[in-house]
A and B are shown apart, each in its own frame.
Chain A
Amino acid sequence: MCLFAFFVSLVFGVLLRDDPRDQLRTGGLMFGGLVGGALLLGWLVYPLPL
């Protein structure tokens, strides 16, 4: 999951921004959002009988 989030955020960060500092910021935010969102969703559905 972290590896997937790393690749996706790296490509999107570089694709969406031109300045290296902005790329790092956007990529970092996206990485945090992907990993944090997955963990949050995981805990939210934990009590559900799936």
Chain B
Amino acid sequence: MTTKSTAAVRARTIAEPGTLVLLCVAAWAVPGAGHFWLGRRQKGLVFLLALPAMFGTGLFLNGQLSPFDLSDPFAALAAVAQAGMGLPWLLARMSGAGTGIVTSVTWEYGNCFTIVGGLLNFLVVLDAFDIALGRK
């Protein structure tokens, strides 16, 4: 049985490596952009709203944007995870947000939101990549 979504995937499969890279960069930079590109508007809209909201909630809860400091491996890993959010992460860093208040009771919760938000966006990028290749 051919579903509506599989038909859409077949019509939008991307074969060129350059376009694939561009798709992944767009999907990383703007959560859900890859799904929009591939015609999965419903999924793209949910990711576009949910992931930045999750990241923003983390910053609101006094979460800290970790530095890429290799002398502290856990902080470096957290920084990589948070960087997965794309443009919202970049904007937050450039605007000086996410300095974090360690004494705040919600500091750990805030970190959890920002880190998991970034990791979820990595999964969304991988999903867009799979759809583009026609695997899903």
Known contacts A4-B112, A4-B116; is A11 also within 8 Å of B5 by CB? no
Once the chains are docked, how many angstroms separate the CA of A7 from the CA of B5? 24
Per-position contact with A for B95-136: 1 when CB-CB < 8 Å, else 0? 000000000000001001100110010011001000000000
**B28 part of interface (Cβ distance < 8 Å):** no
B: number of interface residues (CB 8 Å):
20
Contact A7 B123 (CB under 8 A): no
- A8-B116, A11-B120, A11-B124 known; A18+B46 contact, CB < 8 A: no
With both chains docked as a complex, state the minimum distance between the C-beta of B19 and any C-beta of chain A, in angstroms.
Answer: 22
Interchain pairs with CB closer than 8 A, number: 35
Number of A interface residues in the complex (CB < 8 A): 11
Ranked nearest first, the 9 interchain pairs of A and B with the lowest CB-CB distance are A18-B5, A7-B54, A14-B46, A11-B120, A10-B50, A14-B43, A11-B50, A15-B127, A7-B50
A-to-B contact residues, CB < 8 Å: 3-4, 7-8, 10-11, 14-15, 18-20
* A10-B46, A11-B50 known, 17 other contacts, Cβ within 8 Å: A4-B112, A4-B113, A4-B116, A7-B50, A7-B54, A7-B113, A7-B117, A10-B50, A11-B47, A11-B51, A11-B120, A11-B124, A14-B42, A15-B123, A15-B124, A19-B3, A20-B42
Residues of chain B at the chain A interface (Cβ within 8 Å):
3, 5, 42-43, 46-47, 50-51, 53-54, 57, 109, 112-113, 116-117, 120, 123-124, 127
